[in-house]
Structure 1
Amino acid sequence: MKTLKKLGIWMDHSNAHLIEFSSEVKETKTITSDFTFQDKVETLQRSESEMHNKEQHKHATFYKNLAAVIQNFDEVLLFGPTDAKVELFHFLKKDHKYDTIIIEVKNADKMTDTEQHHFVRDYFKRLEFRP
């Protein structure tokens, strides 16, 4: 029986904390969006439309970076306090190479690293016992 590779991603629009679930403790990896508050202020001074275009472009790059990691897993849990997790989910669903990956989206508040690890562990442990 093949061991499934499982990944939890706590994310907002700025950062994504990648937590691989396995029998051993793995450290959290972080991917950060290039769109900063400073970018927002600078482009907003010129044009709101330009700011939205730049923001969308930077978020698309952020999601592509996450997608490249996700394609190496069988099950993925997206969780966090903002709509970024839902946006990433829809981004992934547009590409059929992610059709075989089980992806679930859960709401969660701001969490410490320890709380994120517990959330991922509890989520995947609960699934191990389903019929």
Structure 2
Amino acid sequence: MKKTKQLGIWMDHSLAYLMEFTTKPFEIQTIIHEFHLEDKATSKLEKKTSIKNVYGYYNRIAEAIINYDKIILFGPSNTKVDFFDILSEDERFVKMKIEIKETDTMNVNQQHAFINEYFVP
């Protein structure tokens, strides 16, 4: 029987922490959103660049999670919902079980505890 690969992703608009659920100590992969123009975007060119930055952020996360079976997206902002919507439209992620949970800002230990509680039956 194939072992299910499980991943927790705490994310907000500026970064994502990817943590695989295993019996070994957690390893954290960090993906940063380079959004220096996003808040100040005024011209059409700046707005297009800002949108490309957001999709680049989401694409980097998507590439990192392609081999997982079950994912929990959690964090304090709506970024996880936007990311989920993008994954839902991508056929590579159709068979992947993805769930969303609203949480507050968490430190690393709280994130680990949340993932352990979520994935332990």
How many residues align structurally? 121
Question: Which digits, 9 at most, give the CA deviation of each residue in 1:9-67, with x for residues without a partner?
Answer: 0000110001110111122110001113xx346x53xx254443222110100000000
Question: RMSD between aligned alpha carbons?
Answer: 1.5
TM-score, structure 2 as length reference: 0.92
Of 23-32 and 75-84, more deviation after overlay is shown by: 23-32
Report which of the two has the higher share of helix. Answer: 1
Q: Matched residues in 2 for 1:92 and 1:13: separation? A: 16
Uncovered stretches (5+) of structure 2, i.e. residues with no partner = none
Q: What is the TM-score when the length of structure 1 is the normalising length?
A: 0.86
- Which structure has the larger Rg? 1
SS at match of 1:117: helix
**Separation in 2 of the partners of 1:85 and 1:34?**
17
Give runs of ≥4 in structure 1 deviating > 3 Å: 48-52
1:113 is displaced (CA, Å) by: 0.5
> Aligned partners of 1:118 and 1:48: how far apart in 2?
43
> Sequence identity, in percent?
36
Distance 2:49 2:109 in 1: 33
Matched-pair contact (CA < 8 Å) for 2:15–2:33: yes
3-state SS, counterpart of residue 29 of structure 1 = strand
